[in-house]
A and B are shown apart, each in its own frame.
Chain A
Amino acid sequence: MYAQLVESGKAETSEQDVAFQKRIDDGIRIEPKDWMPEGYRKTLIRQIGQHAHSEIVGQLPEGNWITRAPTLQRKAILLAKVQDEAGHGLYLYCAAETLGISRDEMTEQLLAGKAKYSSIFNYPTLTWADIGAIGWLVDGAAIMNQVPLQRCSYGPYSRAMIRICKEESFHQRQGFDIMRALVEGTEDQKAMAQDALNRWWWPSLMMFGPSDKDSVHSEQSMRWGIKQNTNDELRQKFVDQTVPQAEWLGLTVPDSELSWNEEKGGYDFGEPDWNEFMEVIKGNGPCNRERLEARQKAWDDGAWFREGLMAHAEKQSAPIAAE
């Protein structure tokens, strides 16, 4: 998901650890100043950091179409949507900071390639229909993952997720609405919507991370209440919810293995290309370089502003010398 491959620390079994685990099992939230195992702290910093970076980097593919939105209303809506994503990044950075890492440290880790962000944002937005597909599929997949995170054992993360979830359904609906307008338009417009679905379907399924049998970090995170569902459970839920929507739109999901399984009450579907996923995570996706360059440029170009305002604030608050 927005945190697809988070390494989780090992739990130890001191008396404190046992009391900590009991607190989690009792459903009592952990707050910043409470004692916590180092592994719990580190896992959360990595996961919330990845999530925050995903919100921020995620603005780039959509930002690409703000100036070219087909109408003024679509432009205003997209601007509001992208602004929300900036807000999501800020809520999450603040939640991570309560664990003892600074905002600047997190930014530096991102720019140095040490901190990851979701693989999905390394794909290009080639047409306006991609903006529809992102809202519908990418925000849709994000919601699937974020709803259970509202119950995360760490208070600040859980509260940030509650705020975020309140804002997400607008994102998914505006995307679906773009797709709907396209499929109800000309043949070319409908073909554009189909092309976007073809390109975004598999990367959207990859957002949930590798299959549970290959996901080494899941178990401890589940025990700590950082993760509530397995990757495969969420992926299945997403497919079951989205396929009928694609059918309603009159679009074809690009998976020849897709079929309804009456027995399990869900769809059977094909495997995403996990080699592609690993390559994108490693930095070899179509837009990895471009995305990091854009973040680096924003960081460098904003330096004079950050420093200037700080210098001004310090000058204003300095005691006035006696005359």
Chain B
Amino acid sequence: MSKEWPLWEVFIRGQHGLSHRHVGSLHAPDAEMAMKNARDVYTRRNEGVSIWVVESAKITASNPDEAGAMFEPSESKVYRHPTFFDIPKEVGAM
């Protein structure tokens, strides 16, 4: 059996001013074909104004089993949120 075309992840900017967002994946032999296929598979109804394609193998993802330790620093630092501080009413908007 021959070698399968590699997998690519497709990201689309839906409208000017928004970030690119992951919409799905597809197979293509190279970046040029991935771009053409992404247009045909993921933008048949004005879904976007810009496309990124990235080979799936090049993406490093966080491990869900380690999510606890990974995101602990963000959970334990409540003072990062403005609501942590008590600002007297008389001080006004802050």
Select A84's contact among B5, B24, B44, B63, beta carbons within 8 Å: B44
Given contacts A303-B2, A309-B33, whether A33 and B24 have CB atoms under 8 Å apart is no
Kindly provide the distance from the CB of A297 to the nearest chain B CB, expressed in whole angstroms.
17
Within the complex, what minimum Cβ distance (angstroms) separates A312 from chain B? Answer: 7
Interface hits, A74-95 → B, CB 8 Å: 80, 83-84, 87, 90-91, 94
Q: How far is the CA of A102 from the CA of B30 in the complex (A)?
A: 18
For residue B5, give the distance in angstroms from its CB to the closest CB of chain A: 6
- The verdict on B35 contacting chain A, using a C-beta distance below 8 Å, is no
Q: Is the CB of B29 within 8 A of A312?
A: yes
Across chains A and B, the number of contacting residue pairs, with CB separation under 8 Å, is 55
Q: How far is the CA of A303 from the CA of B30 in the complex (A)?
A: 17
Minimum distance in angstroms from A163 CB to a CB of chain B: 7
- Closest B residue to A35 by beta carbon equals B65
Closest to A84 in B: B44
**Are the CB atoms of A309 and B29 closer together than 8 Å?**
yes
* B29 lies within 8 A of A310 (CB): yes
CB distance from B53 to the nearest CB of A (A): 13
**B65 & A306 in contact (Cβ 8 Å cutoff):** no
Given known A103-B4, A160-B24, contact A33–B64 (CB-CB < 8 A): yes
CB-defined contacts of A87 to chain B, threshold 8 Å: 40-41, 44
The reply to whether A104 and B41 contact each other, CB–CB distance below 8 Å, is no
In the complex formed, the residue of B with least CB distance to A98 is B25
Interface assignment of A31: CB less than 8 Å from any CB of chain B: yes
A307 at the interface (CB under 8 A from B): yes
**What mask results when residues 145 to 164 of chain A are scored 1 for a CB within 8 Å of chain B, else 0?**
00000000000000110010
Residue of B nearest to A91 (CB): B24
The contact string, 1 if C-beta is below 8 Å from chain A, for chain B 51-76, is 00000000001011100000000000
The residue of chain A having its C-beta at the shortest distance from the C-beta of B7 within the complex is A97
CB-nearest residue of chain A to B37: A90
In this assembly, does A318 line the interface, its C-beta being within 8 Å of a C-beta of chain B? no
Q: Which residues of A contact B44 (CB under 8 A)?
A: 80, 83-84, 87, 167
- CB of B91 closer than 8 Å to a CB of A: no
Q: Say whether B24 contacts A306, CB under 8 Å.
A: no
A259 vs B16: C-alpha distance when bound (angstroms) = 54
Most buried by B among A35, A84, A90, A167: A90
- Collect the chain B residues with CB atoms within 8 Å of residue A317's CB: 30
Q: Which 8 A-B pairs have the closest CB atoms?
A: A313-B30, A313-B29, A309-B29, A94-B25, A307-B2, A310-B29, A33-B64, A34-B64
